[in-house]
A = this chain, B = another copy of it.
């Protein structure tokens, strides 16, 4: 028996050059698209009469990128999801994710260049749209791979100890992570750019200023600040791996290490996540 199923195209890469005379803006996007619905005949009998090819979905991304102004990632995701749902009578749900890669305009002697850009950080801005037959379009915004580190105001102590505990308590450690956050828009809002800047600003500001007792403690404060700053979002889900920086034991070399020399590690890592919503 066929249960939940989904199909689509992922990893559709797109660069659009938006030209205002000689001043260019570039939009570098990765788009994922998927359909859900009653595709029993497809799965069981190999009947493709209802299967809009994933290759067509890809073509739609490029054609719509030309036909439309891309606008905010949420706008483009919404347009694609709506089009996709309308393209297929069997599908009952269309889902689209748009991830925007960051580029920075080159700055030459204090003047920003018209058409030359430098690759940004790993950070991605994410937007998701879900169009379902008979339902309102649902939109969410997000951020991914936002790497941050603080070298003060981070502690971890007061935890329980058992037979398997070797970790030392610390009042001063490195806190490093790569923030993933996704928020749900509560109301009929359109200022997605403003909301993104508000949420991102609240997350970063709180990360920097919070007197952290644990990753959970800071993650929660960041979520609370995002909800406080941006009234248009109803809840936020945040994931923060703990990218451990281990204090090096320099005592064999007759040296002290007053929280100065650390080994950044990639494995294993803590993994902390929570949803924070309005009370």
For window 58-88 of A, CB contacts with B under 8 Å fall at: 58-60, 62-63, 65-67, 87-88
A/B interface sample: 28 pairs, CB < 8 A: A1-B277, A2-B274, A2-B276, A3-B274, A5-B275, A7-B272, A10-B268, A10-B270, A11-B268, A14-B261, A15-B245, A18-B260, A53-B167, A54-B242, A59-B252, A62-B250, A63-B164, A63-B250, A66-B250, A87-B164, A88-B160, A108-B204, A116-B148, A116-B207, A117-B148, A118-B204, A119-B122, A122-B122
User: Is A198 in the interface zone, CB < 8 Å from B?
Assistant: no
8 Å CB contact of A274 from B5, B164, B209, B273: B5
Give the contact stretch, choosing among A22-30, A126-134, A136-144, A189-197.
A22-30
Q: How far is the CA of A159 from the CA of B48 in the complex (A)?
A: 5
- How many positions in chain A have a CB within 8 Å of any CB in the partner chain? 131
Q: How far is the CA of A275 from the CA of B1 in the complex (A)?
A: 8
A147 to B118, Cβ gap below 8 A? Answer: yes
- Report the copy number of this chain in the oligomer: 4
User: Is A17 in the interface zone, CB < 8 Å from B?
Assistant: yes
8 Å CB contact of A116 from B39, B119, B162, B208: B208
B151 to A42, Cβ gap below 8 A? Answer: no
0 or 1 for each of A147-166: is its CB under 8 Å from B? (1 = yes): 11111110011111011111
User: Is A34 in the interface zone, CB < 8 Å from B?
Assistant: yes
- Across the interface, which residues of B come within 8 angstroms of A8, CB to CB? 270-271
Q: How far is the CA of A18 from the CA of B24 in the complex (A)?
A: 40
A264 to B164, Cβ gap below 8 A? Answer: no
Which residue on chain B has the smallest CB distance to residue A122?
A: B119
